């Protein structure tokens, strides 16, 4: 086979790459041919990535990116409850080691460093890619664990299109989604909105409490674990996304993406809280706008692109106490405002078939105002505890990729990060891959890099406790692995991969209490994280119009405190980090027949310790987590519209569990969705 | 094999896979009901646990046998103590455990450890002080009221509103009593000690002592001692060197001020059983006779890579018990030193051991 010849592989099923207007109403479930050339994209030489396809992202409108990642990847999603903070961590690192971009703009909260994935509706994302470990250096610095890259695309069908989806579920949950599109050769316009609300007051048995039954003399005569509701867990989230793209058809594309979020969420009470829920209010509100303007200019052997963006986040947290009827005292009134201006320029140049060069420079100017508390001063006046800081974050990279032969490719990336007036040492990364066998398209991949993460603005400046003397976290990591893909036309497709990774992170920042009653960050830990990631995807054409798809992933991630003992009594050295599972796995299976589709999702985390000393006590660990969800969908094709009816069942086996200590989770729950897609002439 | 058979086999296989993958979560709620007979003398340790984790615990150390029992509230009652175990006080044979972020105070039998009652719905309770058998005061964080409770009926019966303090940002902390007056330090973003008339339940006087008086103690000579932590750098409330103040309780005025270095973070002012020697944490453990006119030059027990978080002195033997939270995410350890500074024993307790309570 010559280089120009293509290896025909069967990698995707039709249902997985349908544009949004097409539903199971008239789906033809058969394996579809996808062309994969032996000369793979040079941009991805040695890169370890996981791509989430459209079927995963567009499963139903109630799902957040946290839900999608839980069941479709082996990275660890730590969820504090339904529609509550959910963070994501790769390869045994912490959530702040996960970088996230949306259409190129880094959207990690510059105050906290991490991202709440429960606030990102998966229906708003068209393309999601996870870049594991070293591979994140190709896009940004600071991703000691990895990078979640989210993007929207201009892929809308010709003419007008519309879709409306409504979901009605347990706990008075309502989800609404609408999308309107218009597309022609030059213009692609899309407007989408989603609104979700629920009192979220699911019932659970509170095993952390007992209620007392007293006799007339106030003696306790019996105790029992109460059935309680998830108090103070209501949410109302609105998202609107507007996109306009213009393609000159002469190599230029202009784009506008604007995303508005309005979120109002209560923070649920702990299972150990004996306060009267009606006497306390614990609420978080957020308004965020993110906008990106882009221009891409493409020529035969080079491409350049420029992006500019602006993000504004207003975040409010109120903790209030009722003193008497209608009189409330505010105990915490936190207000944070983040304004970010973003600019990026990038270029690619392919002088020959063997060489590929890229350059990229991005700048994020953050302006943060954090006001946490009003206090009465000693002179009787009032002031606010908080900080008002700005920081420019510049990241520049250059890469050279060389593929001397179709069987081997190498890539070098050099990245420089400058945050404020501090420069990190140059971040070097090296990638190599090679085609071991054309039969089965067996590829070997390896990469190695250093990486640095700057402290967040809260780490440095939060009052009280911010520590301006913090050092950068820095890490060294490498990985190596193999991937394969094979199949028989019309019968089955199979692809997968396995990767070994190993990383050392020093000066890990953790917040610890102080004797003055507040927390303060310090460079404390030295962590050694290593392990295996594996994934496999399979599609089987069982019979005509019958299709079975299976996607599985597995991670084994020892993440060990490798530092010195804090004192002789310290029992944490050599132990797994708290809330990092050693093993995680996920599996989704989709069976499609004609206009019917059945989905089964399963996720597993091994036990998570809550203590650094890995105690196997009641509060020292959380037992292994197993979760099963199913969904059944039926499509109907009518004359004027397509309908899709779907029933989703979450927590199928009605598990009574906690995901994080003292945070109750819902038992079995249901949501019914109806999707209406008009047919425009 | 015809199509129907293939499909039937497929569905059966799918159900089989689902049943294999589905292992029930084996959640150990540890619904125990252990019987205890706690010795008549010993030391309770309240372990705060991690904020918002609900993993506060109670430990008991028997100095006689040098044995420790951990997690005893849970083991005796079959449910968790709660979130942030703040303090414990024994009165009339009952132990009163203040669980700050669970908004509750549990009352337990100090021998069997079984709950005998509870009072709920505090704002953020810190300490409980018994005025008599029918009345106790409970101080709060983020509230300008001290709650008045009736320990016989386990009810909140009233409030003492502290003047010059706003609801929501107030803070009242430890209490000591001299005659009919209770003295209480106001800590977070505060600078005063208030004087409460227990007959009228009203604040009758206050005294400015310095930024954030974090703990107080009443010595054998009737002198009130207050330790201020000085706030923190950047605080709009101010930042100053921590101090120890000796207050003449009769005139309610500061007699002497002992000033430390700016940036130091002292805490946990304690007295020995005789009430004639002060101890406190400031990196290491420091001590000073109450008659001293100046601060000591060297610590009594130096820090040794430790983060001392709790301190108490045995009223009986004068032994010094120091709690080390280590990394705040594992079992803390308590070191027991003799009055001469010899290490006598050490034992692991719960997460973030912050407060002690002597059973005697």
Query: For residue A613, what is the nearest residue in chain B, using CA coordinates?
Result: B330
Interchain proximity A270–B232, CB inside 8 Å: no
B126: left (phi over 0), alpha (psi -120 to 50) or beta: alpha
Give the C-alpha distances (Å, rounded to integers) separating A286 from A118, A151, A283, A334, A444. 13, 22, 10, 12, 45
Of B313 and A155, more confident: B313
Measured from the Cβ of residue A87, the count of other Cβ atoms closer than 10 Å reads 21
Compute and round to an integer the Cα radius of gyration of chain B.
24
Distance from CA of B243 to the nearest CA of A (A): 14
Q: Is B115 on the interface with A (CB under 8 A)?
A: yes
Interchain proximity A626–B24, CB inside 8 Å: yes
Q: Is B329 on the interface with A (CB under 8 A)?
A: yes
Give the C-alpha distances (Å, rounded to integers) separating B65 from B27, B136, B323, B337, B344. 35, 34, 19, 16, 12
3-state class (DSSP) for residue A18: coil
pLDDT band with cut points at 50, 70 and 90 for residue A43: confident
Cα–Cα distance for residue pair B127/B97, rounded to 1 Å = 9
Token pair listed for A629: 């969800």
Computed over every residue of chain B, the mean pLDDT equals 93
Beta-bridge partner residues of B182: B177, B196
pLDDT at residue B90 in the model: 98
Helices and strands: H and E segment counts in chain B: 2, 27
Beta-bridge partner residues of A362: A344, A395
Report how many Cβ contacts below 8 Å link chain A to chain B.
Answer: 257
The answer for B 46-85 residues in CB contact with A (under 8 A) is 49-55, 57, 71, 74, 77-83
Residue A182 has pLDDT above 80, yes or no: yes
- Comparing A339-348, A592-601, B1-10, B201-210, the range with the smallest average pLDDT is B1-10
Residue A13: CATH number of its domain: 2.40.170.20
| CB under 8 A, 24+ apart: contacts of B148-156 | B148/B201, B149/B105, B149/B119, B151/B91, B151/B92, B151/B94, B151/B96, B151/B107, B153/A218, B154/A218, B154/B107, B154/B117, B154/B118, B154/B119, B155/B119, B156/B119, B156/B121, B156/B122
Q: What is the 3-state secondary structure (H, E, C) of A88-120?
A: EECCCCCHHHEEEEECCEECCCCCCCCCCHHHC
Phi, psi of B101 (to 5 degrees): -90, 10
Average pLDDT over residues A629-634: 96
Cα–Cα distance for residue pair A527/A269, rounded to 1 Å = 33
Average pLDDT over residues B32-47: 94
3-state class (DSSP) for residue B7: helix
Interchain proximity A218–B329, CB inside 8 Å: no
Interchain proximity A542–B115, CB inside 8 Å: no
Q: What is the 3-state secondary structure (H, E, C) of B40-71?
A: CCEEEEEECCCCCCCCEEEEEEECCCCEEECC
pLDDT at residue B18 in the model: 65
pLDDT at residue B266 in the model: 96
Average pLDDT over residues A36-62: 84
Q: Is B20 on the interface with A (CB under 8 A)?
A: no
Cα–Cα distance for residue pair B274/A305, rounded to 1 Å = 78
Residue A66 has pLDDT above 70, yes or no: yes
Distance from CA of A207 to the nearest CA of B (A): 6
Dihedral sign, Cα of residue A37, residue A39, residue A44, residue A46: positive
Residue A3 has pLDDT above 50, yes or no: no
pLDDT in tens, A404-423: 998 999 999 999 999 999 99
Residue A295 has pLDDT above 80, yes or no: yes
Cα–Cα distance for residue pair A288/A311, rounded to 1 Å = 7
Q: Which residues of B touch A271 (CB under 8 A)?
A: 54
Average pLDDT over residues B107-121: 97
Residue A215 has pLDDT above 90, yes or no: yes
Give the C-alpha distances (Å, rounded to integers) separating A440 from A2, A7, A36, A468, A496. 16, 10, 12, 53, 10
Cα–Cα distance for residue pair A117/A124, rounded to 1 Å = 12
Q: Which residues of A touch B101 (CB under 8 A)?
A: 270, 273
Interchain proximity B120–A275, CB inside 8 Å: yes
Computed over every residue of chain A, the mean pLDDT equals 91
Q: Which residues of B touch A657 (CB under 8 A)?
A: 25, 27
Average pLDDT over residues A18-28: 47
Cα–Cα distance for residue pair A290/A203, rounded to 1 Å = 36
The ipTM of this complex is 0.92
Helices and strands: H and E segment counts in chain A: 3, 41
Cα–Cα distance for residue pair A496/A487, rounded to 1 Å = 12
The tally of domains found in chain A comes to 1
Token pair listed for A607: 């036990």
**Which of B210-225 are b and which e, b meaning 16 or more Cβ less than 10 Å from the residue's Cβ?**
bbbbbbbbbbeeebbb
pLDDT at residue A2 in the model: 35
Cα–Cα distance for residue pair A165/A678, rounded to 1 Å = 12
Does A464 sit behind a cis peptide bond, omega within 30 degrees of 0 on the bond before it? yes
Nearest to A463 among B57, B78, B234 (CB): B234
**Which of B321-354 are b and which e, b meaning 16 or more Cβ less than 10 Å from the residue's Cβ?**
bbbbbbbbbbbbbbbbbeeeeeeeebbbbbbbbb
Q: Which residues of B touch A212 (CB under 8 A)?
A: 115, 117-118
pLDDT at residue A258 in the model: 97
pLDDT at residue A490 in the model: 86
**Which of A93-121 are b and which e, b meaning 16 or more Cβ less than 10 Å from the residue's Cβ?**
bbbbbbbbbbbbbbbbbbbbbbbbbbbbb
Average pLDDT over residues A451-473: 95
pLDDT at residue A681 in the model: 62
- Comparing A319-333, A346-360, B183-197, B326-340, the range with the smallest average pLDDT is A319-333
- pLDDT over 90, % of chain A: 82
Residue A465, domain extent:
3-678
Report the DSSP pairing between strands B67-69 and A355-376: unpaired
pLDDT band with cut points at 50, 70 and 90 for residue A10: very low
pLDDT at residue A128 in the model: 96
Distance of CA A384 to the CA centre of its chain: 34
pLDDT at residue A618 in the model: 86
Give the C-alpha distances (Å, rounded to integers) separating A445 from A90, A412, A485, B62. 19, 14, 14, 60
Average pLDDT over residues A518-543: 92
Residue A305 has pLDDT above 50, yes or no: yes
Are A295 and A257 in contact by the 8 Å Cβ rule? The answer is no
The answer for B 169-208 residues in CB contact with A (under 8 A) is 169, 187-189, 191
pLDDT band with cut points at 50, 70 and 90 for residue A4: very low
Residues 6+ apart with CB under 8 A from B12: none
Residue B63 has pLDDT above 70, yes or no: yes
Interchain proximity B25–A611, CB inside 8 Å: no
Dihedral sign, Cα of residue A38, residue A44, residue A49, residue A52: negative
B151: left (phi over 0), alpha (psi -120 to 50) or beta: alpha
Cα–Cα distance for residue pair A131/A44, rounded to 1 Å = 11
pLDDT at residue A25 in the model: 52
Distance from CA of A117 to the nearest CA of B (A): 20
Residue B273 has pLDDT above 90, yes or no: yes
A113: left (phi over 0), alpha (psi -120 to 50) or beta: left
């Amino acid at each position: 086979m010559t280089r120009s010849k293509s290896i025909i592989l069967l990698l995707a099923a039709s249902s997985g790459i349908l544009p949004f207007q097409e539903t199971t109403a008239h789906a033809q479930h058969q394996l579809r041919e996808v062309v994969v050339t032996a000369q793979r994209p040079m941009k991805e030489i040695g890169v370890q990535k996981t791509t989430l396809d459209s079927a995963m992202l567009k499963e139903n409108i109630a799902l957040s990116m946290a839900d999608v990642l839980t069941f479709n990847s082996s990275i660890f999603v730590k969820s504090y409850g339904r529609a509550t903070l959910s963070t994501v961590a790769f390869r045994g690192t912490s959530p702040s080691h996960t970088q996230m971009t949306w259409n190129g703009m880094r959207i990690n909260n510059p105050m906290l460093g991490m991202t709440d994935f429960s606030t990102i509706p998966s229906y708003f994302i068209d393309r999601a890619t996870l870049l594991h470990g070293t591979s994140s250096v190709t896009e940004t610095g600071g991703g000691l664990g990895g990078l979640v890259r989210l993007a929207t695309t201009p892929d809308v069908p010709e003419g007008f299109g519309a879709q409306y989806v409504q979901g009605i579920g347990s706990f008075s949950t309502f989800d609404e989604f609408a999308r309107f599109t218009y597309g022609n050769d030059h213009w692609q316009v899309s407007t989408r909105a989603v609104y979700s609300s629920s009192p979220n007051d699911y019932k659970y048995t509170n095993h952390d409490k007992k209620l007392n039954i007293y006799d007339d003399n106030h003696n306790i005569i019996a105790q029992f674990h109460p059935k309680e509701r998830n108090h103070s867990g209501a949410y109302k989230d609105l998202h609107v996304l507007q996109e306009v793209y213009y393609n000159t058809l002469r190599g230029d594309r202009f784009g506008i993406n604007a995303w508005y979020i309005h979120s109002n969420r209560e923070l649920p009470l702990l299972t150990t809280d004996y306060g009267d829920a009606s006497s306390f209010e614990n609420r978080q509100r957020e308004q965020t706008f993110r906008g990106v303007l882009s221009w891409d200019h493409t020529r035969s052997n080079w491409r350049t692109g420029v992006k500019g963006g602006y993000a504004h986040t207003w975040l409010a947290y109120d903790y209030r106490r009722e003193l008497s009827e209608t009189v409330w005292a505010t105990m915490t009134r936190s207000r944070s405002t983040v304004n970010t201006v973003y600019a990026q320029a990038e270029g690619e140049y392919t002088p020959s078939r063997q060489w590929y060069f890229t350059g990229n420079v991005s700048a994020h100017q953050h302006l943060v105002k954090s006001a946490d508390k009003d206090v009465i001063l000693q002179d009787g006046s009032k002031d606010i505890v908080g900080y008002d800081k700005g920081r420019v974050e510049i990241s520049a990279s250059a890469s050279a990729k060389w593929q001397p032969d179709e069987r081997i490719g190498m890539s070098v990336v050099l990245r420089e990060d400058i945050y404020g007036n501090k420069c990190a040492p140059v971040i070097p990364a090296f990638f190599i891959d090679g085609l071991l066998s054309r039969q089965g398209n067996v590829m070997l991949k390896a990469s190695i890099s250093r990486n640095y993460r700057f402290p967040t603005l809260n780490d440095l400046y939060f009052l009280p406790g911010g520590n301006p003397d913090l050092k950068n976290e820095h890490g060294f990591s490498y990985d190596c692995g193999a991937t394969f893909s094979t199949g028989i036309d019309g019968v089955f497709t199979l692809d997968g991969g396995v990767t070994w990774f190993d990383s050392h992170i020093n000066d890990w920042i953790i917040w610890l209490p102080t004797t003055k009653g507040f927390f303060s960050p310090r460079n404390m830990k030295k962590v050694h994280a290593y392990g295996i990631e594996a994934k496999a995807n399979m599609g089987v054409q069982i019979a005509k119009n019958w299709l079975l798809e299976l996607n599985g992933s597995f991670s084994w991630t020892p993440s060990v405190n490798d530092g010195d003992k804090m004192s002789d009594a310290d029992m944490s050295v050599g132990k797994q980090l708290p809330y990092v599972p050693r093993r995680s796995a996920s599996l989704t299976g989709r069976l499609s027949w004609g206009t019917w589709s059945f989905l089964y999702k399963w996720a597993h985390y091994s036990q998570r310790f809550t203590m650094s000393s890995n105690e196997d006590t009641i509060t020292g660990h959380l037992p292994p987590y197993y979760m099963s969800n199913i969904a059944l969908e039926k499509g109907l094709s009518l004359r004027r519209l397509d309908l899709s009816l779907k029933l989703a069942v979450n927590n199928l086996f009605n598990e009574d569990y906690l995901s994080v200590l003292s945070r109750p989770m819902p038992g079995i729950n249901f949501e019914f969705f109806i999707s209406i897609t008009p047919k425009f002439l | 094999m015809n199509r129907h058979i293939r499909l039937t086999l497929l569905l059966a296989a799918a159900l089989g896979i689902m049943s294999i993958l589905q292992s029930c979560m084996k959640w150990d709620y540890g619904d125990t009901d252990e019987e205890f007979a706690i010795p008549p003398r010993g030391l309770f340790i309240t372990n705060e646990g991690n904020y918002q984790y609900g993993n506060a615990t109670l430990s008991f150390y028997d100095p006689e046998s040098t044995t420790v029992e951990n997690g005893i509230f849970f083991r005796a009652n079959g449910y968790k103590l709660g979130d942030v175990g703040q303090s414990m006080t024994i009165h009339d044979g009952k132990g009163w455990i203040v669980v700050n972020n669970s908004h509750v105070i549990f009352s337990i039998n100090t021998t069997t450890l079984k709950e005998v009652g509870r009072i709920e719905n505090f704002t953020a309770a810190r300490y409980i002080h018994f005025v008599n058998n029918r009345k106790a005061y409970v101080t709060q964080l983020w509230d300008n009221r001290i709650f008045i409770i009736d320990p016989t009926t386990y009810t909140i019966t009233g409030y003492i509103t502290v003047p010059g303090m706003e609801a929501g940002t107030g803070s009242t902390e430890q209490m000591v009593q001299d005659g009919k007056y209770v003295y209480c330090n106001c800590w977070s973003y505060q600078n005063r000690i208030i004087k409460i008339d227990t007959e009228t339940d009203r604040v009758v006087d206050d005294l400015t002592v310095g930024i954030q008086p974090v703990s107080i103690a009443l010595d054998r000579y009737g002198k009130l001692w207050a330790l201020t932590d000085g706030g923190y750098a950047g605080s709009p409330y101010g930042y100053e060197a921590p101090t120890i103040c000796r207050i003449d309780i009769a005139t309610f005025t500061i007699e002497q001020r002992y000033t430390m270095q700016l940036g130091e973070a002292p805490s946990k002012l304690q007295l020995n059983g005789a009430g004639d020697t002060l101890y406190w944490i400031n990196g290491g453990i420091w001590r000073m006779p109450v008659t001293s006119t100046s601060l000591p030059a060297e610590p009594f027990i130096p820090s040794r890579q430790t983060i001392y978080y709790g301190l108490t002195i045995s009223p009986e033997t004068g032994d010094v018990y120091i709690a080390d939270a280590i990394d705040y995410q594992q079992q803390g350890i308590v070191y027991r030193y003799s009055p001469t500074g010899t290490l006598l024993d050490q034992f692991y307790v719960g997460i973030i051991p912050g407060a002690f309570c002597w059973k005697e």
